[in-house]
Structure 1
Amino acid sequence: MTTTTSRPGLRAYEDSLRLAPAEVVAALRETLGAKLVAYLGGVRETRAVREWADGTRIPADEVIQRLRAAYYVTAMLRDRESAPTVASWFQGMNPELDDVAPARMLREQDLDTAGPAVLAAARSFIALG
């Protein structure tokens, strides 16, 4: 039996699928901050993020999928980087994404395209430092 620690990112992937939406949002908020989570979730107020994390409000299915993708990348990066570095990585222009910030790509582009691209950029960042 293979353990989740034998493959980098496997635990993050499994958690991104298994955690309840409120747990995903709470973990993202802890690492990225409420404003960035609100941006990723397509809402203007951090109150919605707090309500999502509390479980008193449920994000739309599409938003949950985007937040799960963001969680996967965040958890993978957090294995090696500090929370401020991860938050900066999400917001900064990324040369592997044609100088688009990963957060912007996840928010504005089709998730089937943006998700794998952002994930590949995160893996590259981890590998190259």
Structure 2
Amino acid sequence: MTLAEHARPDLEAHTHATRAPFAQVAAELRAVLGARLVAYLGGVRETRAVHGWAEGERTPGQEVQQRLRFALRIALPIAAADSDAVAQAWFQGLNPQLDDRSPARLLRDGDLEDVGPAVVAASRAFLVGG
């Protein structure tokens, strides 16, 4: 059963992003969103760090790991329902449900406990309503 076929793709994505080794999380997120966007989410300037995370050669701090696990949780259902390109556009675009702020910027700059629920709600609304 693929993620898109699951009754609650966001729940399956949450479970996967939580349980997967961090190198796998970084590799999957890099595959869906691209290294530049993952670097932005991770607060690093160079994609070299992202490649190091994905290869298991480097490990970022806990806060960055949490942020990237959360981003994977959001990206997987969007990519499964549409495409990687749509997931990238969703993360970067100004979202009316987030007061015209981009999910990527909120996740990079905000406290996950504060911005996380709003980003989840916006992603669910996008998946349901397009």
TM-score tier by shorter-chain length is: over 0.9
Partner of 1:67: 68
Partner of 2:79: 78
Structure 1 segments unaligned to the other structure (5+ residues)? none
Pairwise CA RMSD of aligned residues? 1.1
Structure 2 segments unaligned to the other structure (5+ residues)? none
Task: Provide, for residues 71-95 of structure 1, a one-character-per-residue CA deviation record: whole Å limited to 9, x for no partner.
Answer: 0000121220100011000000000
Output the CA distance in 1 between the equivalents of 2:37 and 2:91: 9
Output the CA distance in 1 between the equivalents of 2:68 and 2:8: 22
Task: Provide, for residues 29-61 of structure 1, a one-character-per-residue CA deviation record: whole Å limited to 9, x for no partner.
Answer: 001100000000000000000000000000100
Q: Aligned residues: percent identity?
A: 52
Report the alpha carbon displacement of residue 115 of structure 1 after superposing the two structures with TM. Answer: 1.2
Q: Which ranges of 4 or more aligned residues in structure 1 deviate by more than 4 Å?
A: none
Output the CA distance in 2 between the equivalents of 1:21 and 1:7: 23
TM-score, normalised on structure 2?
0.94
71-80 or 58-67, which deviates more: 71-80
Residue correspondences, number: 126
TM-score, normalised on structure 1?
0.94
Partner of 2:33: 32
Is residue 2:51 matched to residue 1:50? yes
Output the CA distance in 1 between the equivalents of 2:70 and 2:101: 17
Task: Provide, for residues 74-127 of structure 1, a one-character-per-residue CA deviation record: whole Å limited to 9, x for no partner.
Answer: 012122010001100000000000000000000001100111111110000011
